[in-house]
Amino acid sequence: MATKSIVGRISTADSVFLLCDVQERFRSLIDKMENVIYVAKKLADAAKILEIPLLITEQNPSRLGKTVPEIDISAAAGVYEKKLFSMVTPELEEKLNSLGRKSVVLFGIEAHVCVLQTTLDLVDRGYTVHACMDGISSQRAFDRFVAMERLKQSGAFLTTSESLLFQLIGGAEHPKFKDISAL
């Protein structure tokens, strides 16, 4: 098992992207949901370009709807239905383990519930978690603010989608630089 980076380094070879519950029912409920969708779309597209596995959860989709249609999930390595708050269901955890990657890029909703509980479960299991805060929200801004503090306290690295993507490619010489820059 890889040891957790104390500085938050990340590479395409050791990363997996986790998209948490960006579903139709939440569209009108989540603070700045349009930004969450924009960032989730950008990161899902980047995962495809960089060949990073994307795992997606949908909270009780029969009642809350599927992942919003703006996000292309056709290349996802798995879409998992859940009723737990944490994304770390037995099915998702089995897939995550099979990938053998120890850095997780996490984005979605809600910051203070599903994202937080997922982070706690992943950190407990030895994963390094990079929380893309421009792609994470809650119904109430204060819940998001407190969750951000809690994520930091728990050992997650807070970042933005742009910072993370440029960290993954490392420089303009990367063969996918133009594709990533265009997102």
Task: Return the active site residues.
Answer: 21, 82, 114
Round to whole Å and give the CA distance between 57 and 21.
Answer: 5
How many degrees, rounded to 5, is the angle at CA 124 between CA 159 and CA 43?
Answer: 30
Q: How far is CA 118 from the centre of its chain?
A: 10
Which tokens belong to 19?
Answer: 């998209």
* H helical segments located in 12-160: 33-50, 61-64, 90-99, 116-124, 141-153
How many degrees, rounded to 5, is the angle at CA 137 between CA 163 and CA 153?
Answer: 70
Round to whole Å and give the CA distance between 40 and 27.
Answer: 13
